[in-house]
Chain A
Amino acid sequence: MSDRRKALRYRSRILQSEDERRPETHPLTWRLHDDGRVVNLEDYRAQEGYEALEAVLKGDPKAVIAAMKEANVRGRGGAGFSAGLKWSLTLQGGDMPRGYLVCNADEMEPGTFKDRLVMEQQPHLLIEGMIIGAYANNSKMGYIFLRGEYVECAHVLNQALAEAREAGWLGTDIAGSGFDFDIVLHSGAGRYICGEETALISSLEGKRANPRAKPPFPGQSGAWGKPTVVNNVETLCNVPAVMLKGSDWYQQLSGDRTDDGGTKLYGVSGPVQRPGLWELPMGTTGQEILELAGGVRNGRKLKAWLPGGASTGFLIPEHLELPLDFDTVGKEGSRLGTGLLTVVTEDQSMVSVMRNLEQFFARESCGWCTPCRDGLPWVVKLLQALECGEGEEGDIEMLAKLAKDNGPGLTFCAHAPGAAMPLETALKHFRHEFEQGIRHPRRAAHADPIPVGEI
C-alpha cells in the first residue's frame, strides 16, 4: 500500500492519551492503547476485564437491575432512557420464554462515530456488558446488530467473540454459574432506519426494516415475539464498571455538572481544527468540547451546531455554555442525541445544510408511514427550490407545517421527528436565510412543474 494511501486510511481514535485516561475517571476508554491496537482478551483480563461479570454471576440478576437503576445509566443511543428501568420492564419468569439481548451497533446517525471506537479497539468491554445484561434480563441469546460498512469492527468482534467463547465467557455454564448465553454478530446491509430499535428487530428477523408499533414494547414481545432488550453499544459498555465500582462512584463521575451520572463519549466533527472523540464527564459544556477540538477551522466563526447528530435540533453559539446532558439540552428545543457535535460555520448556508440533512432523512425513510415517506421528499424539494432561488411565497410556512406534521406522535416512529427537529430549529434561528431563497410570489399553477432535484 502506498504511503499516501495509508495516510488516507481512516482510523477511529480517541484524542486523549493513555496518561490522561484512568480507570477511576474513564471507565470506557482507560484500557485503549495510544496506537489504537485492539485490547485483546489477555490485555482486557489483566485490567479488571470480566471481573464484573464474575462477581455478578454469583449474585441475583435482580441486583444487577437494581444497581443499573440506581446508577441511572441513560441510553446512549440517543433517547436517554434509563437502561435499568428498561431492564426492569423486560418480561421474565413464569412461563415466559427466555428472550434476546440485542446490541444496537448500527451507528448511522450523521455526525456520530463513537461506537465504532469501542468495537474496533475494545470489543471485550461490549461483550462483558452484554453478558451482564443478558444475565439480568434472562436472555438466551445475544445479537450485535452491526452496520454493514463497519468491516473492521466485524473482524475485531468476531475474533473477540471467539476468544470469549474459548475462554468460557460465552456458551453453556458461563464461568461455572449455570448460566448459558452466546452472542451472534449480525452485520446489516445498510439503511439508517435499522438503528431504530423496533426496525432493527424487523431487520434482524430478515425482514424489511419497518419499525413496529409500541406497545407492545420489545421487552414484552420483541424479536420473534420474545422479550427483547435493545441497547446501544456505549450504554452496554458502561455496565461492567457500574457493576464493579457501584452506582455512587458512577454518579460522581460527572461531579456536580449535571444530575446524569457517568462519562460520555463526546466528539466534534465538521469544520473544526481538530475533529475527534473524547471521554468526558457527563454534562461537559459545548464550549469545553469545542475548545478540545481547537475551535472552528481557519478562524471562521461558529454559526450553529448540532449537539448530537442530524436528528437533534440546531443550537447557536449562545448555547455553548450549557452542560450537555439529556435534560438541559432538551429544554432548548434540541436533544442531547448521541453527544457528538456537528459544527456549522458562518460562511455555510443553513439552507444547503438543511437540504443535505433532509435529503438524508427522506432517502432513509423506510416508507411505512405517510408523513415521513411523502412529506420529507416535499421538504427536500422545497429546500432545493429555496437553495437555487426558486422559492415561492408560502414555502417557508409550508416547511414549518411539514416540520410540525412530522413531529412526535404523528409519525409511526421517531425517524421523521428526527428530521423535523433540525428543520424547526433552523427555521427558528435562521429564517432570514430561507427567506432569501424566495424570489416569486405564489403562482397559481405551473404549466411546467419546476424541475427541481432528481427526476
Chain B
Amino acid sequence: MNPSNSMPPRTIATDGDGFSLHPDDLEAIRGELHHFEQPQAACVEALKIVQRREGWVPDGAIPAIADALGLGPATIEGVATFYSLIFRQPVGRHVILVCDSSSCFLTGFDELRQGLVDQLGVEFGQTTEDGRFTLLPVCCLGACDGGPALMIDQDTYGPVLPKDLNDLLEAYP
C-alpha cells in the first residue's frame, strides 16, 4: 500500500541520499533477469528486494535500480509509484494492512479500524511516533471467510475484533 493513499502522493523525489545497492541485492536483481525475456520484467522484484532490506524504497534506489536494469529512472519511478505494496515513503518496523473491502466491511471493518486508530494513535497512511507501526488499508486479502481480516508483516489474521488487538500487536515489538 502506498502510504500516499490518504495523503497527497509522493511524486517528487529528492536526490542525494547517497544510496547504493547492496552487493547481495544487486546480485539478486541480476538473478531475476534470467526469468524473463526483457530486463524490465525484473523491475517489480528489484523494488521488492530493496524494500526487503530498507523497509521502503528510498529515493536514491530509483536511479540505482534503473542503472542495474539499464532503464531510465522515470520508468522505475513509474512502476514504484503504481504498485501499492511498494512503499515510497519510510514505514514503521511493522506494516499493518487492514482489509477494507466488501466482506470485511460487512463484518466489522469500521470497528476494527477504529480500534487500531485508538490503539495506535495514527490514521491510515501514517506511522506511529515510535516508528513501530504503519497503518494502511489493503484490497480484499482473500480471507473473506475470516473477516474482518488484517495482515501484519507476513501474517494474516481474521476474524479480528478490536478486543484482540492488544494480544496481537504485542507480538510485533
Interface residues in chain A, defined as those with a beta carbon under 8 Å from any beta carbon in chain B:
1-2, 4-5, 8-12, 107-113, 115-116, 147-152, 184, 186-192, 203-209, 223-224, 226, 267-271, 275-277, 306, 310, 340, 342-345, 348, 353, 356-357, 359-360, 363-364, 366, 454
Contact = CB atoms under 8 A, between A and B. Distances in A.
Nearest to B157: A8
A310 B85 contact: no
Given A110-B101, A205-B40, A360-B101, A10 B156 contact: yes
B13 interface: no
Interface centre among B45, B47, B143, B149 (most CB of A within 10 A): B143
B171 A110 contact: no
Contact of A149 (B40, B83, B141, B171): B141
B144 A269 contact: yes
Contact of A1 (B102, B141, B151, B171): B171
Contacts of A224: 37-38
Given A9-B157, A270-B106, A277-B145, A189 B84 contact: yes
A356 B158 contact: no
Contact of B140 (A109, A186, A204): A109
Given A189-B85, A269-B144, A353-B105, A5 B139 contact: no
B141 A340 contact: no
Contacts of B160: 8
Interface string B140-166: 111111110101001111111000100
A109 B149 CA distance: 15
B140 A342 contact: no
Contact of B83 (A152, A190, A357): A190
B80 to A, nearest CB: 9
Interface of B: 1, 5-6, 35-45, 47-48, 78-79, 82-86, 97, 100-103, 105-107, 138-147, 149, 151, 154-160, 164, 167-168, 170-171
Contacts of B102: 110-111, 270, 306, 310, 342, 353, 356-357, 360
Nearest to B40: A206
Nearest to A210: B82
Nearest to B147: A269
B6 to A, nearest CB: 6
Contacts of B35: 184, 186
A10 B143 contact: yes
A207 B40 contact: yes
Contacts of A310: 101-102, 140
B101 A111 contact: yes
Given A184-B35, A189-B44, A348 B141 contact: no
